[in-house]
Amino acid sequence: MADEKNLSDDLNDMLGDAKEGAKKAANKAEDLAGEAKEKAKEFANEAKETASEFTEGAKEAFDKASGENKKILAGVLAILLGALGIHKFILGYNKEGIIMLIVTLVIGGFTCGMGVGLMGIVGLIEGIIYLTKSDVEFYNTYQVGKKPWF
């Protein structure tokens, strides 16, 4: 009987030690989780700030772009992605860009890609025209004169 009592006491001591160890582990895990949460918040805030700074810098650079820079950008985009009308958005012709995008997606879907091909040809022609004009002629025609097509 004495052996059983000693065994029971030993088991109770071990159980108490295990409970205490589990409590300590839980507290440590909670502390580590809190620290990780704080670090994640700091990282997210830094990422937001960096993205905001990048966006502001890109917007300033785009707004300050001269006629030459918009000419090259619009011309290259017209040749490469003309069917999507991205070059129209670059030049500020939002209505025309939306028209090209709709023709490409909607009509292209119904006609098995003929709308994509048609708008791709329009973009290619416009890109070539943009890039072959002089800087002054491009600026006067497309940025001052607001000529939306060809």
Reported as a single tens digit per residue, the pLDDT across 43-88 is: 667 767 776 676 666 566 555 555 557 889 999 999 998 888 889 9
Q: Average pLDDT, stretch 22-42?
A: 83
Instruction: Give the domain ranges of the chain.
Output: 1-64, 66-144
User: For residue range 135-144, what is the model confidence (pLDDT) as tens digits?
Assistant: 888 888 888 8
> Amino acid identity of 51?
A
User: For residue range 98-111, what is the model confidence (pLDDT) as tens digits?
Assistant: 988 888 888 877 88
First to last CA, the chain: 105
In angstroms, the CA 119 to CA 100 distance is 6
Predicted structure pTM score: 0.52
pLDDT of residue 124: 93
7: exposed, middle or buried (C-beta count within 10 Å: 0-12, 13-18, 19+)?
exposed
